[in-house]
Amino acid sequence: MEIKDKIQFNIIKAKEGNQTAFRFLLDTFWGDVFMYQLKRTKSENDAEDIAMQTFAKAFDKIHTFNDTYVFKTWLIAISKNVYVDLLRKKKISITTETTKEQEEKVYLVVDENPTPEDKIIREQNLAKLLRDIKQLKPKYQQVIQLRYFQELSYKEIALQINEPINNVKVKLLRAKKLLAAIIEKA
């Protein structure tokens, strides 16, 4: 199967809510979005944050993706919008009022069962795993700690770090990928 066909297949699966398909799309396009933002922001941290927000928004709105367009182009467009929004927020601080009902709707996301990656991470030698985790950036260390050691739900992590659930999911996906690379090197 060609990469183009794999991408199309995973887009269809992602629209059905398949987490493995989301992971494939994240792994396939992370570098493109990250490098695009790195050129704009000249900051690895900002580029990484924008990329995470881009994928969180893309996965949240995947059902709106029109298959006649190129997926990478769609992601870059989302990334541009996230970047512009961040620039606006830096210039003007805007607060919005939300109702209790709106806040409750945000948390009606079903928590997924642990994936095989989750189980592997839990089964690793704890001392070595902790050393490997310490090689991650603090924001990734934090979500790994909250999810796997404190066993918090996505909702609880989102509340604790004051970020949307989709951002938490993307951070965890990214943290697991980076941690897997560190473990492979060792």
pLDDT tens profile 64-112: 988 888 899 999 999 999 998 888 877 655 445 556 666 565 555 544 5
* Cβ-based neighbour number of residue 70 at 10 Å: 11
Tell me the mean pLDDT in the region 134-163: 89
The reported pLDDT for the residue numbered 151 is 85
- 31 within domain boundaries: yes
Whole-prediction pTM value?
Answer: 0.59
- Provide the percentage of residues in the chain whose pLDDT is more than 90: 21
Among 24-28, 56-60, 181-185, name the one with the lowest average pLDDT.
181-185
Helix (H) / strand (E) element for 49: namely helix 44-60
Residues 24 and 71 placed together within one structural domain of the fold: yes
Q: Single out the residue in 56, 91, 126 at which a domain terminates.
A: 91
Asked whether residue 81 falls in the same domain as residue 117, the answer is: no
Radius of gyration for the chain, computed over Cα atoms and rounded to the nearest angstrom: 17
Rounded (5°) CA angle 137-139-144: 95
How far, in Å, CA of 27 to CA of 171, rounded?
13
